[in-house]
A = this chain, B = another copy of it.
Amino acid sequence: MIPFAFTIRGRDGRARIGSLHTPHGELATPLFAPVGTQAAVKAVSPAQLEEVGVRLILANTYHLYLRPGDERIAGLGGLHRFMDWPHPILTDSGGYQIFSLAERRQLDDEGVTFRSHLDGSTHRLTPERAMLIQENLGADLIMTLDVCPPARERADVEQAVHLTHRWAERCLHSKTRTDQALFGIVQGGIFPDLRRQSAEFIASLGFPGHAIGGLSVGEAKEETLAMLDLLDASLPEDRPRYLMGVGSPEDLVQAVRRGVDLFDCVLPTRMARNHAALTRRGRMNLRAAIHADSPQPIDPECTCYACTHFSRAYLRHLCLAGEILAATLLTLHNLHTLTILMADLRQAVGEGRLDVFAEEFLHDYRKIRLPEG
């Protein structure tokens, strides 16, 4: 196989199913990747993730650069070996985290200077450094350094798009490893012309895949979906499209319908630590008194370890008692739910019935949310 070959195996409307070849195995798309910020998906082990069916994990370059350090991880054989994950890994560029630091960072044309959230020490990230760090980490899929404007003013977004494009070129030129696929990131906020311009420019650089940045940070759903419609038409069809930071069930369904192939989000794991379960019928707050004596599992049809072994009453007890096991079991359940959802979406696309599946799913998901909430 050609490294990072992306084969589209079927289509249904604008949705597609495919497989992405990586040095650590094939990925069936559309696919959701849980987040392992610090080289660990919170509250679960790699063996448990594998059992749940997870195949791609995102790790955060910003966090790992600061601790334990990318050179240390390289010295220990790279991220796969470090965290014992034999399947593909995706790293972001660190930009998103740094731009979230607000007063702790200073942007210029060449890069960004920031202070560590850990110890206040000063660091500098440039496109070239972002590549070097990600090459040290050794993920299969790596990202260009982009500028994520926290503001929604057009002038700020224009400036961010401009810098993102220059930096994408510099990332491409400084990359040295051939066993990593560098994705270019499209910015442009919610301005259709800027988004289109960004997609066309980034696509012109010939990246093996394209990431869609800045669309999960508080926009109205309609605006996000409109941007996906636009990007579906602007991005080359033959490359995987990765929508960064999106992972609620309803958003996954809607984005797959608009031709997105890859996703990551902290939602399922963070919700688990906040004691909420994702189910096909909506979100369930396991701390609610209604579950106190319930012998039922979270979802009687779910085949995850939590649902095949434990009652809502036990899970509620673990939540109220502050037991770590609550986070572990709910994380396994939530990731299993998203894994099954993605498999169902792939099957629906393959069988040409995505719209029916999506409408039924969204109907059930919304219908039952309130009583369980």
**A307-335 interface with B by 8 A CB criterion:** 309-311, 313-314, 316-318, 320-321, 323-325, 327-329
Whether A274 sits at the interface, judged by CB under 8 Å, is no
Is B325 within 8 A of A45, CB to CB?
yes
How far, in angstroms, from A310 to B295 measured CA to CA in the complex?
37
A112 to chain B, nearest CB (A): 23
How far, in angstroms, from A68 to B39 measured CA to CA in the complex?
35
Is A323 within 8 A of B76, CB to CB?
no
When distances are taken between beta carbons in the complex, the residues of chain B under 8 Å from A324 are 42-43, 324, 327-328
Is B77 within 8 A of A38, CB to CB?
no
How far, in angstroms, from A39 to B317 measured CA to CA in the complex?
9
When distances are taken between beta carbons in the complex, the residues of chain B under 8 Å from A325 are 40, 42-45
How far, in angstroms, from A317 to B84 measured CA to CA in the complex?
13
Candidates B68, B72, B295, B321; contact of A76 at CB < 8 Å: B295
Whether A223 sits at the interface, judged by CB under 8 Å, is no
Candidates B42, B45, B47, B313; contact of A68 at CB < 8 Å: B313
Is A76 within 8 A of B313, CB to CB?
yes
Is B46 within 8 A of A309, CB to CB?
yes
Is A82 within 8 A of B44, CB to CB?
no
Whether A359 sits at the interface, judged by CB under 8 Å, is no
Is A320 within 8 A of B67, CB to CB?
yes
Whether A75 sits at the interface, judged by CB under 8 Å, is yes
Is A67 within 8 A of B317, CB to CB?
yes
Whether A54 sits at the interface, judged by CB under 8 Å, is no
Candidates B38, B75, B84; contact of A321 at CB < 8 Å: B38
Contacts known (A40-B325, A75-B293, A292-B72); A47 close to B305, Cβ less than 8 A: yes
Candidates B38, B45, B293; contact of A329 at CB < 8 Å: B45
Is A311 within 8 A of B82, CB to CB?
yes
Is B77 within 8 A of A45, CB to CB?
no
**A64-110 interface with B by 8 A CB criterion:** 67-68, 72, 75-77, 82-84
Candidates B40, B45, B316, B323; contact of A40 at CB < 8 Å: B323
When distances are taken between beta carbons in the complex, the residues of chain B under 8 Å from A47 are 305, 309
How far, in angstroms, from A280 to B138 measured CA to CA in the complex?
35
Contacts known (A47-B305, A325-B40); A313 close to B72, Cβ less than 8 A: yes
Candidates B68, B314, B317; contact of A317 at CB < 8 Å: B68
A343 to chain B, nearest CB (A): 23
Minimal Cβ-Cβ distance residue in B for A47: B305
When distances are taken between beta carbons in the complex, the residues of chain B under 8 Å from A67 are 317, 320-321
| Most chain B Cβ neighbours within 10 Å, of A309, A320, A328 | A328
Minimal Cβ-Cβ distance residue in B for A311: B76
When distances are taken between beta carbons in the complex, the residues of chain B under 8 Å from A318 are 38, 40
How far, in angstroms, from A321 to B72 measured CA to CA in the complex?
15
A302 to chain B, nearest CB (A): 15
When distances are taken between beta carbons in the complex, the residues of chain B under 8 Å from A43 are 324-325, 328
Is B292 within 8 A of A68, CB to CB?
yes
A324 to chain B, nearest CB (A): 4
Minimal Cβ-Cβ distance residue in B for A306: B45
List 18 other contacts, CB 8 Å, given A42-B324, A68-B317.
A38-B317, A40-B318, A43-B324, A43-B325, A45-B305, A45-B325, A47-B309, A63-B321, A67-B317, A67-B321, A68-B292, A72-B292, A75-B293, A76-B311, A76-B314, A82-B313, A324-B324, A324-B328
Of the A-B pairs whose beta carbons lie under 8 Å apart in the complex, a sample of 9, sorted by A's number, is A43-B324, A45-B325, A68-B292, A68-B317, A76-B293, A76-B295, A77-B295, A82-B314, A324-B324
